[in-house]
Structure 1
Amino acid sequence: MRKLKRYGLVLMLLLIFQLESSAQDPFFSQFYNAPLVLNPALTGISFGKVRTTFNYKSYLNDFDQMQTYSFAADMSLLEADRNPDFAGIGIVVVQDDAGGVLTDTKIMASYAYHNAIGRRGKNYIAMGMQAGIDRISLDYSRLSTQNQWVPFQGYDEQLGNGEDFQRDAHTALDFQAGLLWYTFLRNNSVLFFGVSAFHLSAPNRSLLGEEGPLSRKYLVHGGGKFPMTDKLNFVPTMVFFYQDNISVFNPGVSLEYQVVKARRFTKQKDTSVSMGAWVRNTDACIFGLSLEYGEFNAGLSYDLILSSLSKVSRNGGFEVSMSYNFNKKFRTRTKLISNPSPRL
């Protein structure tokens, strides 16, 4: 009985979300800390930096653990003194693991070009694209079905599950594209807005030897950073996406407090802490905390389930994010300051 409970939800999600054309993408609650998963146009936006990011999410742990990992690295290119335009390249790897039964891995190369509007370089339009592979794999040995349930005896894991799939893995090419507008206002304010589209080639993900295209996803995001005092910033962010007749709206706000402001010719580093809350439709409330120390940023969030699923489990899951920016050494002196990434 315990075994059926353990794998029942996994099998249901497998059949509903993965083997049919209505498959959905994994989604990070800290979407603002997973830039290359959010929009390809965010590639290289940290001007003069090599940015690395890591995200981990564990959710629905009252059943069998479901986990999503992401690692990305990107950098700016073509920086010049007289031309404020620049480009960016990067790579992102995302793996979604459903209870050890189903694994989905994406490896994407990313490119973006940031075009300055006007000579002062205060407004930018960026265009980005991603291309790579999407691989889905299934461990048949860990599937549990009603064929393993014996009347008056219970569950017998020694019995075969009775499922017959034509293959245990499938790999397909996938493509993404995005647009981003961002501007630097007076008093160090930042405002940004972007759109992106995923799975433009509608890759086939069926393990049954049939047509099972992954539905295209369309995403809109935006936000900004606005100083309230010398040390306190108001940071609203939102994301909306639509995929296969399912829509998700995820707005929220955080407050960022600058604990230390670095001074020149000292070993001090800018240090700030942030606290915020977001809602995802009417299904969940997300609470987040982050620390930024120099070029390092770490975030922790928790999803509290509010929907009918809370009758079974309120543990929506924890999520951790980390990022670090490495300085690049320019061959020629540049007068451009680093573009602050439009995130927390």
Structure 2
Amino acid sequence: MNTRIKCRYLFRLSRGGLCRSFVQSLWGIVLVLFTEHIHAQDLHFSQYFSAPLLTNPANTGFIPDANYRLGVDYRDQWTTIPVPYRTMSAFGDAQLLRNRLTYGWLGVGGVVLQDVAGSGDLTSTKVYASLAYHQLLGLGSLLSAGFNVGYARKSINLSKLTFDDQWNGKFFDASLPTNEYSAITQTSVSYMDLQAGLNYAYFPNDHIYLNLGFSAQHLNTPRETFYNGDNRIPRRYIGFVNASIQVSSQIIINPNGYYSLQSGAHELVAGGYLQVNLSGDGAQQLLGGIYYRFGDALIPMVGYQLNNLRLMFSYDATVSSLGSNIQHNGAYEVSLIYQGLYQNGTYRREEKKFRCPSF
């Protein structure tokens, strides 16, 4: 986003209301996020595998253990600042034409993403429609390709902001005139957004599953600015690897890795989680694991699965130098995913050949 909005624009900070070091830190953060010449990375979830359509449109309809799924994700970041960052998403996707296409099927879906930040309600809302095709390559692998088209809107409420020239000697008075945002020509901007991706899965037997994916986002480099400039969102490239290994009738290991690159800013996350069979038939599972975002945060994760419903909770414990400025309060995420079947809750015989390791 191309904007000269500074720290005081996004956070309503009274003089003396926050310690000087915290104000200076917020100033540095916001300058990095919102100056004209520096691009920050897109919104993201630490549980990237719980937001499959945002990670890669080729994941649309890629549901090894079901025919359709619905999910929601919620992230709350930096709760110690006056107005934390909140990110929410909801998605749904389904498999189509499994009976009509030879060793393949279509995936269709959609996702809504919203982020709200700061006292000025800096809000980003995106709605995407996704389509993917999945083709079996023999009995042990699958190749997928997908794309999505979205509508995005970003806005800010200037009436909720106060500025240095509105300080009356005792407090900030929003009724006082200000020239701080005279360069802003509009308070909302909208644009079309395009993504595409590839996915490959390898499943040599019922106990091992490997999945590799790559996606390119903002293919059309849309214009996003509150000013008259031509600031463009740079393309973002995402790669990931997921695996599931059943080591016994009680335990499945799921190692994961994720890498994102956008305009020189990069993010690398690696770790894994366990599925523990609590009921013998897999109807109840305990989930637990840990991830590390290199140079930034340690991310413990815990969850519970009951039949087709999975709930996961994670916490980003900041380990970078930023941690001391936010009292080491990072971010927490909650995800809820439901997966279902079309045909009376059972798989056809041929579908069972393509399932992930399961209890």
Residues 254 and 275 of structure 1 are in contact (CA less than 8 Å); yes or no, is this contact kept in structure 2? yes
- TM-score, normalization by structure 2: 0.85
Deviation at 1:180, TM superposition (A): 0.5
Number of aligned positions between the proteins: 332
Residues 130 and 146 of structure 2 are in contact (CA less than 8 Å); yes or no, is this contact kept in structure 1? yes
Q: What is the aligned counterpart of 2:299 among 277, 282, 286? A: 286
Q: Which has the higher strand share?
A: 1
Task: From the superposition, tell whether residues 12 and 328 of structure 1 become closer, same or farther in structure 2 (CA, over 3 Å).
Answer: farther
Q: Which residue of 2 aligns with 1:311?
A: 324
Runs of 4+ in structure 1 deviating by more than 3 angstroms, as ranges, are 1-16, 18-21, 152-158, 338-343
Distance in structure 2 (CA, Å) of the matches to 1:248 and 1:261: 38
Pairs within 5 Å for 1:82-101: 83-99=102-118, 101=121
Task: From the superposition, tell whether residues 138 and 19 of structure 1 become closer, same or farther in structure 2 (CA, over 3 Å).
Answer: farther
Distance in structure 2 (CA, Å) of the matches to 1:10 and 1:175: 32
Deviation at 1:159, TM superposition (A): 2.7
Task: From the superposition, tell whether residues 39 and 241 of structure 1 become closer, same or farther in structure 2 (CA, over 3 Å).
Answer: same
Percentage of pairs with the same residue: 27
The answer to whether structure 1 residue 139 and structure 2 residue 153 are counterparts is no
Say which SS state the counterpart of residue 141 (structure 1) adopts: helix
Distance in structure 2 (CA, Å) of the matches to 1:334 and 1:35: 25
Deviation at 1:157, TM superposition (A): 3.6
Q: Which residue of 1 aligns with 2:8?
A: none
Q: What is the aligned counterpart of 1:117 among 137, 159, 164? A: 137
Pairs within 5 Å for 1:83-232: 83-99=102-118, 101-118=121-138, 120=139, 122-150=140-168, 153-161=170-178, 162-164=180-182, 165-232=184-251
Q: Which residue of 2 aligns with 1:265?
A: none
Q: Which residue of 1 aligns with 2:3?
A: none
The answer to whether structure 1 residue 253 and structure 2 residue 253 are counterparts is no
Give per-residue Cα distances to partners, 1:237-287, cap 9 Å, x unaligned.
Answer: 11000011111110011121111243xxxxxx6221111111111211001
Give per-residue Cα distances to partners, 1:197-245, cap 9 Å, x unaligned.
Answer: 1000001111112111111100110020112222111110110000111
Say which SS state the counterpart of residue 349 (structure 2) adopts: coil
Q: What is the aligned counterpart of 1:324 among 338, 346, 349? A: 338
Amino acid in the other structure paired with 1:46: I
Task: From the superposition, tell whether residues 177 and 133 of structure 1 become closer, same or farther in structure 2 (CA, over 3 Å).
Answer: same
How well do the aligned residues superpose, as a CA RMSD in angstroms?
Answer: 2.6
Distance in structure 2 (CA, Å) of the matches to 1:242 and 1:73: 26
Say which SS state the counterpart of residue 311 (structure 1) adopts: helix
Deviation at 1:149, TM superposition (A): 3.3
Q: Which residue of 2 aligns with 1:266?
A: none
Pairs within 5 Å for 1:254-273: 254-262=273-281, 270-273=283-286
Give per-residue Cα distances to partners, 1:295-322, cap 9 Å, x unaligned.
Answer: 1011000110011111111111110000
Task: From the superposition, tell whether residues 106 and 311 of structure 1 become closer, same or farther in structure 2 (CA, over 3 Å).
Answer: same
Q: Which residue of 2 aligns with 1:297?
A: 310
Say which SS state the counterpart of residue 185 (structure 1) adopts: strand
The answer to whether structure 1 residue 28 and structure 2 residue 45 are counterparts is yes
Distance in structure 1 (CA, Å) of the matches to 2:177 and 2:252: 58
Deviation at 1:81, TM superposition (A): 7.5
Task: From the superposition, tell whether residues 223 and 341 of structure 1 become closer, same or farther in structure 2 (CA, over 3 Å).
Answer: same
